[in-house]
Amino acid sequence: MHHELEVVADPDTVAGTAAAFVARPARACVRAHGRFTFAVSRGHTPWAMFARLAHEHVPWEHVAVFQVDERVAPDGDTDRNLTHLRESLGAAPAEVIAMPVNDADLDAAAAAYGRSLPERFDLVHLGLGPDGHTASLVPRDPALEVSDRLVALTAPYMGHQRMTLTYPALARARQVLWLITGADKREPLSRLVAGDRSIPAGRVEAASLVLADAAAGQGPARADAQSPA
């Protein structure tokens, strides 16, 4: 796995840099095959990125936005990733394929969402928790070991059960865009770019660009890190 690390000044710069980065493959993929498939995680930085994307040239009517993970909570709840994602997209006419976390049978809902996923994602956004988790793949959760499904349910974590893409689903990414901000991410970020598979984020197998702010990156303006396969 190859991680290219870019460290910029602050979270606002991370959001702006990410928006410009996302717009480029969005245009290229729509030109090449008529659709851009983008999976998005929770976080203030990606929501800020979407606000910046409103000022970029993006062919939104050909963009399909999938969820990387979602909390089991009522529709419209402020704990739902979808609530903030829709607010961030505003009037952009992207297709949003929401995780069906309000279905009565969550196991069947997870399987159905897995069937809706593309064979390849053009881009997947991921974040990084202070404990090294990404998506809703958190330390010691049984979902970490799921290899036969694209979508799984987690044990309760921070008050909510979650639905999450599994490692096989994340491996469908042509590229991963990590957005990482804050001093509490400094240690897990160093472990991620070193290829430390003892943290959940370190087990994601896809080429990636890691955008970090100075508080998290604490390094040169740009650096490359090669992690073992």
* pTM for the structure as a whole: 0.92
Which residues sit opposite 55 in a β-bridge?
none
Instruction: Please classify residue 47 by burial: count the beta carbons closer than 10 Å to its beta carbon, then call 0-12 exposed, 13-18 middle and 19+ buried.
Output: middle
**Confidence class for position 1, pLDDT limits 50, 70, 90:** low
Cα pseudo-dihedral 150, 167, 139, 7, rounded to 10: -130
**pLDDT given at position 124:** 98
**β-strands 162-165, 151-153 pairing:** antiparallel
Give tens-digit pLDDT for 171-210.
Answer: 999 999 999 999 999 999 999 999 999 999 999 999 899 9
CA torsion sign, 195 to 197 to 199 to 204?
positive
Whether 220 has a pLDDT exceeding 50, the answer reads: no
| Higher pLDDT among residues 193 and 229, named by residue | 193
Q: What is the pLDDT of residue 226?
A: 35
Asked whether the predicted pLDDT for residue 222 surpasses 80, the reply is no
- Given a cut of 70, whether residue 148 has pLDDT beyond it is yes
pLDDT at 218: 76
pLDDT of the residue at 223: 37
More confident of the two residues 221 and 148: 148
Residue 114 has pLDDT above 90, yes or no: yes
Question: Is the distance from CB of 125 to CB of 40 less than 8 angstroms?
Answer: yes
Q: Which phi and psi (to 5°) does residue 123 adopt?
A: -155, 140
Q: Taking all residues of the chain, what is their mean pLDDT, rounded to a whole number? A: 92
Q: Which of 9, 28, 14, 7 has the alpha carbon at shortest distance from 175?
A: 28
Chain segment 16-53, per-residue pLDDT in tens: 999 999 999 999 999 999 999 999 998 888 999 998 98
What percentage of the chain reaches a pLDDT higher than 70? 95
| Range of lowest pLDDT (15-24, 29-38, 85-94, 111-120) | 85-94
User: What DSSP element (H or E) covers 226?
Assistant: strand 222-226
The answer for residues whose C-beta is within 8 angstroms of residue 9's C-beta and 6 or more apart is: 213, 214
List of residues 6+ apart from 65 with CB closer than 8 A: 38, 39, 40, 85, 89, 94, 95, 96, 97
Q: What is the pLDDT of residue 61?
A: 97
* Burial class of 84 by CB neighbour count within 10 A (0 to 12, 13 to 18, 19+): middle
Tally DSSP H helices, then E strands, for the chain: 7, 11
Encoded tokens for 11: 């979270």
